[in-house]
Amino acid sequence: MKPELFHIAGLTIYGYGFCILVGVVAAFFHLYLNRVRLGMDVDSISNVILICFVGVFVGGKVFYFLEDPAGHWSRMDQFFGDLGNGFVFYGSFLVTLAMLWAWMRKIGWNFWDKMDDIGIAGAFVHGFGKLGCFLAGCCHGVVCVNPKYGIIFNDVNSHAEPLGEALYPVQLWDSGIVFFSIAMMLWMQKRGKTFGGQLFFFYALIYGVGRFFTEGYRGDISRGFVFNGLLSHSQFIAILVVTFSGIGYWFLRRRQLRKV
């Protein structure tokens, strides 16, 4: 829609990067405003955000490479020359989760006690990031059967294909799912959650189900498919995430009931 927002003093401000920045600021303030309850200070909040940044970048890029190893390997100069584009959400999600678990275990924090709020913070970055995808034209949808339900991308710098035709606004759908999840998590938190990890798994379940269906309208076929094109990589991972999130939710809830 608008990959380049504006230019200032010879510097180009990109829509995707700007939205990510807004998400990071929102994430920081969520953790900062809840720092007393979480037992966190500014340094530990900064460490969490730094770990998330590294996990998101490395995980997103690694999973993006794995979508088409042979193709990316044959053009590694392009792969490394365009580090600002080409990420897979579930790669970022899983690698960041593993890094946070390892770090919290090292410093003696209870992982699930912190992950509900970190999940909300991460969702802010995710939701605004999807708005950034919309501005950049990446993660775009297929051509609409009925043009009135689509969005037309005309900017030559947009990643959307084809330009000039109405495409399903999949990025906005995904962003809407994320912000709905945030609203629900904040509401559940205000009412009083029943166990640590409840909000995090709720987010994973809601987004996983929503992402499975929105993937069916994606038009960027380069993301890869499995089972002879039956499912996209992200749909397959969504099934795994929903399955394991459901198991995790059930296990933590049952463990809490045993303590009562």
- Say which range, 61-70, 128-137, 156-165, 178-187, has the weakest mean pLDDT: 61-70
**Mean pLDDT, residues 79-103 taken together:** 76
Contacting residues for 52 by C-beta, under 8 A, at least 6 apart: 27, 96, 100, 118, 122, 125
Contacting residues for 28 by C-beta, under 8 A, at least 6 apart: 45, 49, 121
**Burial category of 31 from C-beta neighbours within 10 Å (exposed 0-12, middle 13-18, buried 19 and up):** buried
Beta bridge partners, 151, equal 167
SS3 56: helix
CA distances from residue 194 to 33, 115, 130, 220 in whole angstroms, order as listed: 21, 14, 30, 40
Contact (CB, 8 A) for 42 and 63: no
Judge if the upstream peptide bond of residue 3 is cis by omega within 30 degrees of 0: no
Tell me which of 158 and 93 has the higher pLDDT: 158
The rounded Cα 60 to chain-centroid distance in angstroms is 9
pLDDT at 45: 94
Interatomic CA distance for residues 71 and 54, integer angstroms? 25
> What integer best gives the mean pLDDT of the chain?
86
pLDDT at 234: 81
SS3 218: strand
Interatomic CA distance for residues 223 and 238, integer angstroms? 14
Contacting residues for 119 by C-beta, under 8 A, at least 6 apart: 185, 199, 200, 203, 204
pLDDT at 143: 94
**Mean pLDDT, residues 66-93 taken together:** 66
Report DSSP state, residue 144: P
Contacting residues for 249 by C-beta, under 8 A, at least 6 apart: 197, 198, 201, 202, 205
Domain ranges of the chain: 4-192
Interatomic CA distance for residues 186 and 208, integer angstroms? 19
Q: Per-residue DSSP letters for 101-138?
A: HHHHHHHT--HHHHHHHHHHHHHHHHHHHHHHHHHHT-
pLDDT at 94: 85
* Report for 51-55, 75-79, 138-142, 184-188: range of highest mean pLDDT: 184-188
pLDDT at 32: 95
Q: pTM of whole model > 0.75? A: yes
**Mean pLDDT, residues 36-60 taken together:** 90
Give the Cβ contact number of residue 207 at 10 Å: 26
